[in-house]
Structure 1
Amino acid sequence: MRPHAGAALSRRRFLSLSAGGAVAGGAALSGCALQVSTGVSGSGETITMMVKADDLSPDLVKQAKKETGVTIRRVDYDITKLIAMLTSGNPPDLVRAVGATDAAYFAARDVMEELDPYFARSSVLKVDDLDPVNDLWRYDGRTQGKGPRYGMAKDFSQDSMFWYNTAAFDKKGVDYPSETEPVTFEEWLENSQRLTQRSKGQTTVFGGSYNGLLKLTLMATMTASAGGSLFSDDFSRVDFTTPEARKALAWYIDYCKLKVGPSPILPDPNGWDGPTFQAGRMAMSNSGYWMGGMIGTDKKLAEVSRLAPAPVFAGGPRISACQGATGLWMPRKAKNKDAAWRVFEWFFGEAPAKARASSGWGIPSLKSLRPLMPQQEDFQKRTLKAQENELKHFSVVSLSPYITGDAFESLFNQVTPAAMKGEISVDTVAGRLNPIINEQLKRGKEQVG
């Protein structure tokens, strides 16, 4: 066991959070102080869950009380409020977070409970039943994807995959992408140019949308697809001038410059791809399996929609990562850990998890629930076949614990639009991104140390 940091949490360690700042690998993380009682169900207790409204409906709160005996008090997720609760020593019992971008960030700040002892005694959540996506919720003090478990994904998608509309391809005489073999990023961009429809200077149909969930996850996964890493070995620096990172950056700048899809300089008025794809005004959408939940409710759209593998760079490895893995974690100083764990088990392994699995809005994070994924209709069977093939190519792309997704997004969107408009070169952008992002990473590392 590693030594416990022990010191009281200082507000200073969290100041960067609200600004979207940084965090750390140096903080000690402890299993030593962990006390796991046995045989305590938590029935009759009350826990506080800090989540978003669509994570936990009022009906689910009632269902939890009925099925676990635990009363849930739901509070809206708010990062400023969370920081205040953590620093005052009175945190929620369970907190929502995005595994890909948040897990290492919070774990490095020594505020998360290590959950391995809980998993070890659980009859509901077995470690050998956990999908590998849950490794995004692991952090060993240095690298995401290894070490203790700090949370779990409620469901997931391989977010570099893309949907395409066969009617749009037919109209332009473009061959369909394979549902099992990846196209290259170069081919994807060529297709998107051919599929884009314009009238009187206006884009009427986007050829394709490819923005990832966040620019941090997009750039990290694309750099991995080019055979490199966006971060240095200790995750304290980025370097967009390496051949692999530059290739990822150049591709995305080209995509934005060509105006074949939504981007920071051409925002989609709908705010996300779903309504635009549903309206037949987008030929390809970089959205993983989860968007099939929406597509499946529209029979006409389902007939022409296909799910395709994550693209690859010519000569690069086949990488198909999850850029989300939203789930829950338990603060180290939570007051009602047994009751919180009982709700955790219920949420991730019982009725709510089964309902999510059968909805088509995400891949269940327990392998044993995969048979519940919808597969009655032809659309569902075809989608499931493509998705099951892609699962073989899943891998964790580790991110730095020293910067938040929001901070990276803000800095990236400050610097890159000039290149997207053709005013400066990719190399100039890379040279401007490195110092401002590395300054943020440096501050984040200092705040943890």
Structure 2
Amino acid sequence: MPVSARASLDRRRFLAASAGAALTAAALPGCAASVDSGGGSGGGGKTLTVMTLTDEWDAKTKRSIEKTLNVTLRVITYDVTKLNAMLAGKNPPDVVRGIGATDTPYFAVRGLMTDLDPYLAKSEVLKASDLAPANDVWRFDGRKQGAGPRYGLARDYSQDCLFWYRADLFEEAGLDLPSETEPLSCDEWLDLGKRLTTRRLGKVKVYGLNATGMGVFSQLMWMTASAGGSLFAHDMASVDFSSPEARKALTWYLDYARADIGPNLVNPNPDGWDGPTYQANRMAMSCNGHWFGGTIAGDARLAKVSRLAPAPQLGGHRVSPCFGGTGFWIPKDAKNKDAAWKLFEWYFAGRPAKDRVDYGWGMPSLNSLRTELPVDTPLQKQAYAVQEKELPYFSVLPVSPYAQTDALNAVLSKVLPGAIKSGTSAGKIADALNSRMNQQLARGKELVG
């Protein structure tokens, strides 16, 4: 499989695997054991154990890592249940793949992550001053995400509420193309989605809009922030969907889902994610960040008609967050931290980092590499220009350390489908969500102590 193809699957498969493990991080019930992909065969005296995707590196790359770092590389397939068991037994992997935006507070507040600041201070190739602001999703000051020590680094990132659209479908519908500099309001976005949706025999033929490509809870956090509020209380120990700002965001999602113009919790996308649907001319707008351009670029026909647009806004506070920031972290009880850091330097600042930029998948983790993003085609030039103007509006949207976002998404998946179908009011839905999520958060806080 070519590297670019692996990259397109990489992000989605990992997010899907994490979502499938929804409640297992809080408790450790029986779950399928992970598969050990085997050790290396040419390394040095130390074994470097990395928990990541099965195909993170091919055999040739593994041998190169072993030779470069003078280690024997052992790769364990990521499995959250096995990870928690290893962490509890104080025998964790040396390096763990994770999603910075959602994992950092949960693991950091439990004292399970290594502070990387001392390593950054000594490194000659990785400098804190060169880290893109999106790396701040890997910071946690003991109470809130986005400040304090750095516990991991992002391999790349996107501001995930920018959206891609099909200019040809806009033109067929007689609609003006979105601005490349001024964000749509979420109401304008929803209206466009309704106009772009086409149906046949009562079923959707072409989705007008997928507004929740990175998960419903994250989208509701973003919309609430744009309206000037926060889903989480100041101490991150509770949510409040009843606030005016959160109610506005929840009402927007209910309108979107009930209009049935795109994948939602009642009618999920049978393709599993937007890539195949968008490529098959069955989606007019897809809410995914810069990284999604890698899915589009390989198809000349699709690239010709695709454009990137700024993140829409629900209110007057322009916010354009990152919901991923996927990368690596080092457990506090890791046995080979120095070797793990050498892997970090190679992976985040060496040839792999430069290769990722060349492929055009997402924004580079280092500011110094941003100018290396490909701008050879009209698609790449347009996307780069939009992304550059969007950068000032990035900010970390902190998540609670007391429950994983997957678990909160699981609550949404239980409550919303029936409520959407029955026409239940936003107020009653907010009460149900507050009750269920706050019970979960309270249990998590009690366990942390």
Q: How far apart are the structure 2 equivalents of 1:196 and 1:154? A: 35
Letter in 1 for 2:382: R
What's 1:3 paired with? none
Residues 242-276 of structure 1 deviation map (CA, whole Å, 9 limit, x = unaligned): 00111111101111100000111111110001110
Q: How far apart are the structure 1 equivalents of 2:351 and 2:47? A: 20
Task: Tell me the percent identity.
Answer: 51
What's 2:236 paired with? 235
Cα pair 1:215 1:405 within 8 Å, conserved: no
> SS of the residue aligned with 1:392?
helix
Q: CA deviation at 1:90?
A: 0.9
What's 1:19 paired with? 23
Q: How far apart are the structure 1 equivalents of 2:399 and 2:87? A: 23
Q: CA deviation at 1:20?
A: 4.4
Q: How far apart are the structure 2 equivalents of 1:159 and 1:57? A: 28
Letter in 1 for 2:206: V
Within-5 A mapping of 1:147-166: 147-166=148-167
> SS of the residue aligned with 2:393?
coil
Q: How far apart are the structure 2 equivalents of 1:71 and 1:297? A: 36
Cα pair 2:224 2:314 within 8 Å, conserved: no
Residues 328-363 of structure 1 deviation map (CA, whole Å, 9 limit, x = unaligned): 110111111111110111111101111111111110
Cα 1:439–1:408 shift into 2, 3 Å: same
Q: CA deviation at 1:371?
A: 2.1
Q: How far apart are the structure 1 equivalents of 2:61 and 2:211? A: 34
Q: CA deviation at 1:212?
A: 3.9
Letter in 1 for 2:262: G
TM-score (norm 2): 0.90
Cα pair 2:153 2:329 within 8 Å, conserved: yes
> SS of the residue aligned with 1:230?
coil
What's 2:431 paired with? 431
Residues 59-95 of structure 1 deviation map (CA, whole Å, 9 limit, x = unaligned): 3322212333233211000111111111111110000
What's 1:58 paired with? 59
Cα pair 2:213 2:274 within 8 Å, conserved: no
Q: How far apart are the structure 1 equivalents of 2:25 and 2:227? A: 27
Letter in 2 for 1:431: D
Cα 1:55–1:223 shift into 2, 3 Å: farther
Q: CA deviation at 1:44?
A: 4.9
Cα pair 2:22 2:407 within 8 Å, conserved: no
What's 1:215 paired with? 216
Structure 2 gap ranges (5+): 1-20, 28-42
Q: How far apart are the structure 1 equivalents of 2:55 and 2:144? A: 31
Q: CA deviation at 1:54?
A: 4.3
Identify which of structures 1 and 2 has the higher relative contact order when contacts are C-alpha pairs closer than 8 Å and 6+ apart: 1
Letter in 1 for 2:270: P
Q: CA deviation at 1:302?
A: 0.4
TM-score (norm 1): 0.90
What's 1:333 paired with? 333
Q: How far apart are the structure 2 equivalents of 1:346 and 1:44? A: 19
Q: How far apart are the structure 1 equivalents of 2:248 and 2:71? A: 51
Q: How far apart are the structure 2 equivalents of 1:281 and 1:214? A: 20
What's 1:420 paired with? 420
Cα 1:54–1:318 shift into 2, 3 Å: farther
Q: How far apart are the structure 1 equivalents of 2:263 and 2:219? A: 14
Q: CA deviation at 1:241?
A: 0.5
What's 2:33 paired with? none
Cα 1:22–1:184 shift into 2, 3 Å: farther
Q: Is it true that 1:99 corresponds to 2:103 in the alignment? A: no
Q: How far apart are the structure 2 equivalents of 1:44 and 1:309? A: 50
Q: Is it true that 1:347 corresponds to 2:347 in the alignment? A: yes
Within-5 A mapping of 1:247-258: 247-258=248-259
Cα 1:419–1:268 shift into 2, 3 Å: same
What's 1:362 paired with? 362
Q: How far apart are the structure 1 equivalents of 2:174 and 2:55? A: 40
What's 2:7 paired with? none
What's 1:264 paired with? 265
What's 2:32 paired with? none
Structure 1 gap ranges (5+): 1-16, 24-41
Cα pair 1:22 1:441 within 8 Å, conserved: no
What's 1:383 paired with? 383
Structure 1 residue runs of 4+, over 4 Å off? 20-23
Residues 203-258 of structure 1 deviation map (CA, whole Å, 9 limit, x = unaligned): 11000101141223222111111110000000001000000111111101111100
Cα pair 2:105 2:140 within 8 Å, conserved: yes
Letter in 2 for 1:194: R
Q: How far apart are the structure 2 equivalents of 1:326 and 1:84? A: 22
Residues 136-173 of structure 1 deviation map (CA, whole Å, 9 limit, x = unaligned): 00001001001011001000000011000001101100
Cα pair 1:168 1:195 within 8 Å, conserved: yes
Q: CA deviation at 1:45?
A: 2.7
Cα 1:414–1:350 shift into 2, 3 Å: same
Q: How far apart are the structure 2 equivalents of 1:43 and 1:133? A: 35
Cα 1:353–1:105 shift into 2, 3 Å: same
Q: CA deviation at 1:22?
A: 5.2
Letter in 2 for 1:154: R
What's 1:144 paired with? 145
Deviation larger for 250-259 or 44-53? 44-53
Number of aligned residue pairs: 414
Letter in 1 for 2:217: L
Within-5 A mapping of 1:255-294: 255-294=256-295
Residues 382-420 of structure 1 deviation map (CA, whole Å, 9 limit, x = unaligned): 111111111121111111111112111111111111232
Q: How far apart are the structure 2 equivalents of 1:43 and 1:366? A: 30
Q: How far apart are the structure 1 equivalents of 2:434 and 2:388? A: 38
Q: How far apart are the structure 2 equivalents of 1:111 and 1:340? A: 15
Cα pair 1:119 1:127 within 8 Å, conserved: yes
Q: How far apart are the structure 2 equivalents of 1:165 and 1:255? A: 19
Letter in 1 for 2:351: A
RMSD between aligned residues? 1.5
What's 1:77 paired with? 78
Q: How far apart are the structure 2 equivalents of 1:55 and 1:221? A: 30
Q: CA deviation at 1:199?
A: 1.3
Letter in 2 for 1:19: L
